Amino acid sequence: MAMSILKLRNSPALRSVANHARIGVLSRGFSKLSEGTDITSAASGVSLQKARSWDEGVSSNFSTTPLSDIFKGKKVVIFGLPGAYTGVCSQQHVPSYKSHIDKFKAKGIDSIICVSVNDPYTVNGWAEKLDAKDAIEFYGDFDGKFHKSLGLDKDLSVALLGPRSERWSAYVEDGKVKAVNVEEAPSDFKVSGAEVILGQI
C-alpha cells in the first residue's frame, strides 16, 4: 500500500495537478497558455483590432495593433470571452472588471484588456453600451486567430455563435504569463472574474 501511494504521489499527472494548484492556474490540458508562456511568441504574427467606429476604422486605414504594443514592458490583465452582447459576458464578466478598476490600479496594473471574437465595430458599440471604455481597453479578434494560437478557441455553433473562444483571464508581465484561468465551459463564471485574478497579482 505504501509503495502504491508513493507511486501515485510521484506520478506526472498528480504532479501536474499539484503544480496548477500551487500557482493558481486553472486551464484545459490542451491550452497553449500557461504560466511562463510568452504570449507574443505563442501568438506570433497575430494582431488585435482596437474597438472603434466604422468611420474611425476607415480613417485609420483599418489598422491593427501588434501584441507587442499591448504587452511589452507593461503589467496587463487580459480577459477573453465568447462574444459581445451575450448574457454572461455583458451581465457579469465585463462588469466585474469595471467595478474593480481602482483595485487593479492600486496593484500597479497598466491596463485591463477585454478581447472578444467579434469585429472591432461590434465590440465598440457593445463597450459603449456597457459604459466601460474608460476603464477597460476593448479589442476584437475578428477572425479568431489570437484565441486559436493560444489553444483557447471554441466552437459554439450549438448556440448559433460559430467559432468563438473559451471564457478566460490572465495576468501578464512584459509579455510573460504569470497566471491564467479558463472556465470549464464558456457559460460558467467561476474563475475568470476580476476577484480571482486580483488574488493572483
Residues with catalytic function: 89
Label residue 92 exposed, middle or buried (CB < 10 Å: 0-12, 13-18, 19+).
middle
DSSP 37-106: -BHHHHTTT-EEEE---HHHHHHTTS--EEHHHHHTTSEEEEEEES-TT-HHIIIIIHHHHHTTHHHHHH
Question: Of 112, 141, 163, whose CA–CA distance to 51 is shortest?
Answer: 141
